[in-house]
Amino acid sequence: MNQVQIQLPQSIHEKVVTLARKEGMSLDQFLVNAISNEIIRQETHAFFRQETASFNESDFMAALAEIPASAPEEIDKI
């Protein structure tokens, strides 16, 4: 495992320590979770940006038009 040393402003450090305690985690665990969540967020954003780059509205509308009209099943009704 690698070690990283960072300097935090006092106000951020206090907030992070408080949040970690509320979650019942060590400061290290909390920061690893926070960084992991940010990595997942960034990767998800990049994935959808890439996937939507080739979106073609006319192809999408044509695909929707092929779906037959039908009433929702009883279980799907609100």
Tens of pLDDT, residue by residue over 8-64, are 999 999 999 999 999 999 999 999 999 999 999 999 999 999 999 999 999 999 999
pTM over 0.75: no
Return the closest-CA partner of residue 13 out of 23, 33, 27: 27
CA-CA-CA-CA torsion sign (62, 68, 72, 75):
negative
Q: Are 21 and 29 in contact (CB under 8 A)?
A: no
Q: Are 27 and 15 in contact (CB under 8 A)?
A: no
